[in-house]
Structure 1
Amino acid sequence: MTAPASAPDRPVFAILLMNLAVLVFTSMDGLIKYASDTYGYPTGELIFVRNLFAFIPLLSYMLVVEKRLRLGTTQPWGHFWRGVFGVSAMYCYFLSYKLLPLSDAIALGLSGPIFLTILSVPLLGEKVGWRRWSAVVVGFVGVVIMTRPGSGVFDPYALIPLAAAIFYALAMISIRKMSANEPPTTIVFYFTAFAMLASLITLPFGHFNPDLAWRMPSGGVEFGLLLLIGTMGGAAQIALTTAFRRASVSIVAPFDYMALVYGFLIGFLVFGESPDRYLITGGVVVVASGIYIIHRETVLARARRRKAALPSLPVVE
């Protein structure tokens, strides 16, 4: 979301790319749930193959389209913390797909912008006005509706995608701090490498819990499934990055919430899930809150740019 607009604006093309990226990411999530449920692959191994095979489209894009590998960096610690937060988010997201209905996990995970707004105050020094705080409160109401505490049906596993959303927000803050000096593909490359290596930490877990033991694919179908998960993740990341280069954040970012629609459809068609009225209502509230937060951030960013050009203009938070 912080990629510089280095290419001419093509908003329609960017919207189509963003929808494609979200659809591919959501389909990948469905495959991850399928691999966990059907073949018993542990979360750590799925993170490994997701990032290992993501190098196929990522390196192809860097060599063919960008015509160079830009791997130099002046912010190794920035990449480290982006990796720690990003891998933590990925682990929680993947684990939630295994433990929860896909539509529930995706809907709760979409609360990331709410936590991003909250954390931007202490970590980025941003000033958040009453409009965005109001959107945050409304967003939390949506989360409460989805989790239904006190109704007798609260699932403690619902805390896992919420933890993923918090780690996602921390990862986005790390990217914001680096994006002024680091090309987007460089950030993606180092994160992919970090996540692949970090997932190896889970290898010994299988000695203590057989459910966490890594396993070799037993045939071409399983290997093809793992290969597809990784290549889909890498290709979707490239599409998303390109979308943000081709149009402004205010145009592209709201379409990230199409994941809720795609998640509901995949959950219903593939896994036989039927989201109840609480999940649908809460999901819509969270989406509306997130879109308004994006809108306000865009308005304020424009005001700050105008103020930089004309210092006499105030920026009202």
Structure 2
Amino acid sequence: MTSKRNGYIFVLLAIVIFSIQDAISKHLGGLYSPVFITMIRYWAFAAFAIALAARSRGGLAVAARTRRPALQILRGVLLAFQIVVVITSFSVVGLAHSQAIFSAGPLFVALLSMPLLGERVGWRRWTAIVIGLLGVLLILKPDGTSFDLRFLIPLSSALIFSIYVISTRLVSRDDSSMTSFFYTGVAGAVAITAVGPFYWTTLAPQDWAWMLLLCITGTSSRFFLIKAYELLDAAEAQPLTYLQLVFASIIGVSIFGETLNPNMIIGSVIVVCAGIFTVWRESVVARRNAKAPEPPSSQTLT
């Protein structure tokens, strides 16, 4: 019970810090290029990943050893690109609306797991996915009449992150979580540094403090999330992660003057409920399959 309690504490800490990080990203994203912001943030992330890997069992040599180098590098590049899109979304669409669309991520993961991972999705999860996607449509039409093309930005971010999650599941079959974390930081830093200098901007003196705080929140939130998933499974942690939508809405309305509308609120509730059910049902199926006895081999058949 103590480990479970600590796991929930780590999740809550990660979500609170993620929300602060998102608010800082929105502030800086309105002043500087998202590519430039992501590059500075990734330098801190990569340094943290290298330091963590160096202290792990076997050190850097073991952490950097992978059976899926191409896929690991792809994961790092995908996440770096997704963060650029996220910061852009915060600036263009807003915190609350962006997070509402991001919450559809588990639904996209469930959809992509069929063609990319060969997983089977039963009628219960299919029902949740369809209902959740209807909720997404409500969010995408805030005034109930027209579709705002700006919402393609957070929608593409949710899809990119879903591909990242799927690729993480694929590499987890062969590599350790430390190896995956190492490549997420290092490969992403290398990729964003290849283009970031073209967007270099001189930071105002007061913004160096915000950038430093962004780097601190970016690394600490990842650390707490890692600790949380060491103690909890996805079905236990996922419901709490949706608190980020609540925090984003509060920050967006109170600090940035964003507005909420009935379609967004109703759609968000539908998406969150569908996402929680999808993750919970996936864990139920996984536990049932793990307990199922293996079929007898052909040599034992009579």
| TM-score when normalising by structure 2 | 0.90
Q: Deviations over 1:125-176 (max 9, x none)?
A: 0111111111110111111111117844532111111111111111111100
Q: How far 1:118 moved relative to its partner?
A: 0.8
| Stretch moving more, 146-155 or 230-239 | 146-155
Q: Aligned to 1:215, which of 201, 204, 207? A: 201
Q: How far 1:311 moved relative to its partner?
A: 4.6
Alignment partner, residue 105 of structure 1: 98
Q: 1:67 to 1:15 in 2, by over 3 A?
A: farther
| Stretch moving more, 155-164 or 74-83 | 74-83
Contact 1:146 1:282 in 2 (8 A): yes
Give, in whole Å, the separation in 1 of the partners of 2:4 and 2:64. Answer: 29
Q: How far 1:56 moved relative to its partner?
A: 4.7
Give, in whole Å, the separation in 1 of the partners of 2:85 and 2:123. Answer: 31
**Does 2:149 correspond to 1:156?**
yes
Alignment partner, residue 299 of structure 2: none
Alignment partner, residue 48 of structure 1: 39
Q: How many residues align?
A: 294
**Does 2:227 correspond to 1:242?**
yes
Q: Deviations over 1:209-248 (max 9, x none)?
A: xxxx4202231x2122112212211111111111111122
Secondary structure of the residue aligned to 2:162 is helix
Letter in 1 for 2:213: L
| Stretch moving more, 129-138 or 184-193 | 184-193
Secondary structure of the residue aligned to 2:38 is helix
Contact 2:102 2:154 in 1 (8 A): yes
Letter in 2 for 1:177: L
Give, in whole Å, the separation in 1 of the partners of 2:39 and 2:254. Answer: 28
Letter in 2 for 1:170: I
Give, in whole Å, the separation in 1 of the partners of 2:182 and 2:216. Answer: 14
Give, in whole Å, the separation in 2 of the partners of 1:109 and 1:286. Answer: 10
Letter in 2 for 1:29: D
**Does 2:88 correspond to 1:91?**
no
Alignment partner, residue 3 of structure 1: none
**Does 2:250 correspond to 1:265?**
yes
Q: 1:266 to 1:77 in 2, by over 3 A?
A: same
Contact 1:57 1:235 in 2 (8 A): no
Give, in whole Å, the separation in 1 of the partners of 2:8 and 2:196. Answer: 40
Question: How do 1:248-287 and structure 2 match up within 5 A?
Answer: 248-287=233-272
Q: Aligned to 1:119, which of 107, 112, 116? A: 112
Instruction: State the Cα RMSD in Å.
Output: 2.2
Question: How do 1:21-100 and structure 2 match up within 5 A?
Answer: 21-37=14-30, 40-63=31-54, 68-69=59-60, 70-100=63-93
Letter in 2 for 1:161: P
| Stretch moving more, 157-166 or 195-204 | 195-204
| TM-score when normalising by structure 1 | 0.86
Secondary structure of the residue aligned to 2:204 is coil
Contact 1:49 1:229 in 2 (8 A): no
Letter in 1 for 2:40: V
Secondary structure of the residue aligned to 1:271 is coil
Q: Which runs of 5+ in 1 are unaligned?
A: 1-7, 207-212, 313-317
